[in-house]
Amino acid sequence: MTRLIALLLALLTLSLPAHAADDISAASRSVVRVVTVAMVDGEVVGFGHGSGIAISPTRIVTNAHVVESAAKYPDNVALGVVPSEGQKSFAGKLIAIDTARDLALIEITEGRLPAAAIYTGPLESGADVVALGYPGNVDLATARSANDYITPRTPTRSEGNLSNTQAVDGVAMLIHTAKISRGNSGGPLVDQCGRITGINTAITRADDGDSPFAFAISGRELMRFLADAGQQYTSVGTPCLSLAEADARDRAAIDAESRASAEANAAKDAAARLDRDLRQARAEEDALASRENRIALAGVFFVIGALAAGAGLLFYNQKNIRNAKIAGGAGVVLMFGAAILFATRPDAHAEIAQEAAAVATTATPKLAQGNLLCTIRTDRSRITVSATTDVPITIGKDGCVNGRTQYTRGPDDRWQRILVPNEEATVTVASIDSTGREYRVERYLLDAETMTKARETRAADTLKSCTANPDELAGLAAQQDAIRSALPATPNERLVYRCQPASGSAVKPAAAP
C-alpha cells in the first residue's frame, strides 16, 4: 500500500510546475487593485481605481485620495478590492483614513490575502527599489471592457533607485526613480526582498524634458498610521541579502565555527596529552621507587636470612640441634622470600591506561528528546517577511514534535516536516538535526496554482498526529518527497535557529538503536 501511495505521489508531482522563488513575485501576490464605484439612483455615475497592499490577511493599505469619495459619500460610493490572483473580487470597508499622511486602511469582509511585511531598517541612497501596482496607462493600453478592471491579474512592476528622503508638508517621503503613473497610487514601493519601504502617492510633472521622479510615503509614516489605527503588522529590520549572499555568509559562519571547534579540540587534546605525560612521569617515578624499595627489602631479607643460616650452622656445631633447625629454617625462608621479592620487582617503566576512543557507528541516528528554546541566528539566516522571535520546541519519542506533529528522517539525516497550510500561500519545510541543536525553517512563497496542487498532494496522505506505525511513516515520507520535488530550487526565506535546553529541563542525547 505504501509503495502504491509513493508511486501515485511521484506521478502527481510531474504535473506540478516548480516556479522560481522570486521575492518580488511573492510581494506582488499581496498587491490589490482598489476600486471605487459611485452610484446615484441605482446608476453608476463615477468610477475610480488605485492600488493597495495587504498588511494582514484581511486589511489593505492604500492612499487616502484613492478612497476619498467613499469617505465623503459612504452611502453612494462602494469600495471593491481586486486581488492579483484567483477568480473573485471582494467588497471592501473603510476602517481608517488619514488625509494628512494620505493613507487609508480597508478591510475585506470575505477572502484572505497573503500579507506583506514592512521594512524597518535603514535605507541608503541608490538602493534598488521596485514599484508594484496597476498604472492607468497600462490599463488604457490593455483593458477592453470595464470587466478588465475587476478581474484579478498580476500587478505591473517597475524598477528604480532610491534618491533620498524629504519632508513634504511634514510627511516623510521617499523620492525614487521607479516609473509610476496614475493608478499606482496606494501601491507599495518594495526592496529587493519584497518588503514594503513606502506607499507610492505622487509623481512630478515632466515638463520641457524634465526627468520624472516619484514620491512614496515612507515606511516610518506608514507604521505610525497603522499604530494610530490599532492595526498589527509584520516588520523586518534585517538587511536584504540574495540567497547566494546568505549562503556565502552561512558557509562563512559554519567555517568559523568549525575552525573554532577544531582549535578548541586541539587545545583540549594538547591539555590531555600534557596531563597524560605528567601522569606517565609520576607513574614512572612511583614505579622506580617501588622497584628500588622491593630490591632493598629483598636485600634486607637476604642478609637476615644469611645471618640466620650462619647461626643455624653455629648451633649445629655446638650440637644444639633444635636451635639449629629453627635458625636454619628461618634463614632458608628469609632467603627464599628475598629471591621472590627480587624476582617480582616492578618494571622501572609504567604505562598508564589509555582513554577509550570513540567508536564510529553506521546505525541510523535517532532524534534527541526534550524541551528546547531556539533562538534565531541572523548571521546564518535569510530573513525577508517573517518574525524572528524565539521558538520553543518539545521533541518526543520517534520524532514527535510538540506532541502533535510527526517528523521523519530525510536524506540529509535531518528530521523534517513539510507544512502546507489551508489558508496561507506558503509552504514551510521545518527540520531539526539529530542532536537537537539546530532548527531550520525554509519558506516558499508560492502562487495560487502551485499552492492548490501542493494541498492536493498533501491530502493524498492525511497524517494528523504522531505515530510509530512504519507504514504510516513511510507514507508520510513519500508524501513529503512528492511535495518537495514540486517546490522551487531555492526558498524565499531560510531561518536558522540555535537550540538549547529550555530552563529547568534537559535534553536526552540522540542514540543509535
Q: Give the model's pLDDT for residue 478.
A: 87
Query: Which residue do the cell numbers 492612499 mark?
Result: 63
CA 394 to CA 407: how far, in whole Å?
12
- The cell for 433 is 538535526
Q: Give the model's pLDDT for residue 50.
A: 95
Q: Give the model's pLDDT for residue 267.
A: 81
Q: Give the model's pLDDT for residue 78.
A: 92
Q: Is there a contact between 425 and 448 (Cβ–Cβ < 8 Å)?
A: yes
Q: How do residues 409-428 score in pLDDT, each as one tens digit?
A: 887 888 999 999 888 889 99
Q: Give the model's pLDDT for residue 256.
A: 79
Q: How do residues 467-508 score in pLDDT, each as one tens digit?
A: 888 888 888 888 888 888 888 888 999 999 999 998 766 666
Which residues make Cβ contacts (< 8 Å) with residue 7, sequence separation at least 6? none
CA 103 to CA 290: how far, in whole Å?
93
Query: Which residue do the cell numbers 499552492 mark?
Result: 451
Q: Give the model's pLDDT for residue 206.
A: 66
Walk across the sheet containing 438-445 and list its strands.
405-406, 400-401, 391-395, 370-376, 493-501, 438-445, 426-432, 415-419, 408-409
| DSSP per-residue string spanning 1-58 | -HHHHHHHHHHHHTTS------HHHHHHTTEEEEEEEEEETTEEEEEEEEEEEESSSS
CA 378 to CA 205: how far, in whole Å?
43
Q: Give the model's pLDDT for residue 367.
A: 79
Residues of the chain with pLDDT under 50: 1-20, 356-362, 512-513
Cβ-based neighbour number of residue 73 at 10 Å: 14
CA 503 to CA 161: how far, in whole Å?
47
Report the C-alpha dihedral over residues 376, 378, 379, 382, rounded to 10 degrees: 110
